[in-house]
Amino acid sequence: MLSRDIARILDANLNRAREALRVMEDFVRFVLDDPAGCAILKQLRHDLRECVRHVSLEDLLGARDTPGDVGTGISTESERHRTDARDACVASAKRLSEALRTIEEYAKTFDAGLSAAMESLRYRAYEVEQRVILRGTRSARFAKVRLYVLVTSSMCRRDWLETAAEAIEGGAGCIQLREKDLDDGELLARARRLSALCHERGALFMLNDRPDIAVLSDADGVHLGQADLPAADARRILGPDRLIGLSTHTAEQLGVALGLMPDYVAVGPMFASTTKPQEHVPGPSLLTLAESATSIPIVPIGGITIDNAGILRQAGARRLCVCSAVIDSDNPQSAARALLG
């Protein structure tokens, strides 16, 4: 049985941590409209609950003494004022890490395993704060993307930059530059031009494979395939404010990717693709599995055309990712609009 003093401390700080997480989740949900952020915070709440499930609820409630708590009547003027919703979220993030640290320290007196678990949660809380504050807006913008277009100059029927501009005019909310064969100097030059175009016209810009050039070109993020840099290493290059998307082709790869909590996950190919042929075509069933497994944005890719896009919508697709269906068109703007229905 816990000592009454330790139980009071744990009870107060578990309440603080849960309340702080809820304030943060409401900010991400109702202010940012960021489903990926919601998924991360919901998981953190679940893991906190699991960590303390062996602590006796009776001990905690039995030690609670709100009327006799000398701290309930102490507050500062700054605690009663917040500049805006973001400021409220930031304050709650600080309160969360403080509460987790307090639980961690006092848990050392009776359960070293619980203390270690709280330490791990505290480090995750630091990362969540960073993510919500620094890239939550970008993540929320991505969640609203309905059409994601890959641009490779050799596949464009018209000038590649003009094609990208028309795709955006047709409704593409995100453009990815995918160039496997350019030298670094030319890739950086093109990335900078496309980045400027996307940001001028209100679209997100992603770069394929290269987090270093993504940073140099002020891209909104990088897309990584199964053979590219691990997401953790890419994050070290990108910093905390840019997006990371991951490609997956099987249910197993999907599970691993979701565990990394990226900003979005691509699944495919949905259909046989001439752009990027693969022996294994998981099809719409992988899309359905992914959409049911997470709130993180899912991006179906591979072989998608105007003719088969409806199949994916029936399977649960909220957005589409295409390449030749738009860039190999005489009229990329019209092709983009047609894909959006």
Residues 268 and 216 in one domain: yes
Is residue 16 annotated as part of the catalytic site, yes or no? no
pLDDT at 275 over 70: no
Beta-bridge mates of residue 301? 321
pTM score, whole prediction? 0.89
Residue range 303-317: average pLDDT? 96
Domain boundary among 118, 140, 162: 140
- CATH of residue 61: 1.20.1260
Domain limits for position 153? 145-340
Total domain count for the chain?
2
Residues 130 and 165 in one domain: no
CB atoms within 10 A of CB 324: 19
Residues 191 and 329 in one domain: yes
The counts of H helices and E strands in the chain are 14, 8
Least confident of 180-184, 276-280, 308-312, 328-332: 276-280
Domain boundary among 105, 140, 175: 140
Round to whole Å and give the CA distance between 1 and 111: 12
Round to whole Å and give the CA distance between 236 and 225: 17
Which residue matches tokens 């991006």? 299
Is residue 276 annotated as part of the catalytic site, yes or no? yes
Q: Where does the pLDDT of residue 220 fall: very low under 50, low under 70, confident under 90, or very high at 90 and above?
A: very high
Q: Output the pLDDT for position 301.
A: 97
Catalytic position from the list 217, 247, 324, 329? 247
Q: Output the pLDDT for position 72.
A: 67
Round to whole Å and give the CA distance between 96 and 88: 12
Round to whole Å and give the CA distance between 207 and 284: 25
Residues 59 and 186 in one domain: no
Higher pLDDT, 69 or 234: 234
Is residue 144 annotated as part of the catalytic site, yes or no? no
pLDDT at 317 over 70: yes
pLDDT at 265 over 80: yes
DSSP notation for 116-144: HHHHHHHHHHHHHHHHHHHHHHHHHHHHT
Residues 198 and 128 in one domain: no
Q: Which segments within 50-177 are labelled E, that is strand?
A: 147-151, 174-177
With CA atoms as reference, report the closest residue to 209 among 155, 164, 246, 174.
246
Q: Output the pLDDT for position 73.
A: 65
**Inter-axis angle of helices 85-107 and 112-143, to 10 degrees?**
160
Angle at 96 between CA 95 and CA 101, to 5 degrees: 100
Q: Output the pLDDT for position 297.
A: 96
Q: Mean pLDDT, the chain, as a whole number?
A: 94
101-138, pLDDT tens digit by residue? 999 999 999 999 999 999 999 999 999 999 999 999 99
Residues 128 and 188 in one domain: no
Residues 130 and 155 in one domain: no
Residues 284 and 164 in one domain: yes
Residues 107 and 175 in one domain: no
Catalytic position from the list 8, 95, 178, 235? 178
51, with CB counted inside 10 A (0-12, 13-18, 19+), is buried
Q: Where does the pLDDT of residue 2 fall: very low under 50, low under 70, confident under 90, or very high at 90 and above?
A: confident
Residues 108 and 226 in one domain: no
pLDDT at 55 over 70: yes
Alpha helix locations (H) across 269-331? 284-293, 309-314, 324-327
Residues 113 and 204 in one domain: no
pLDDT at 341 over 90: no
Domain boundary among 117, 140, 163: 140
Residues 127 and 251 in one domain: no
Q: Where does the pLDDT of residue 243 fall: very low under 50, low under 70, confident under 90, or very high at 90 and above?
A: very high
- CATH of residue 210: 3.20.20.70
Q: Output the pLDDT for position 231.
A: 97
Catalytic position from the list 86, 144, 193, 276? 276
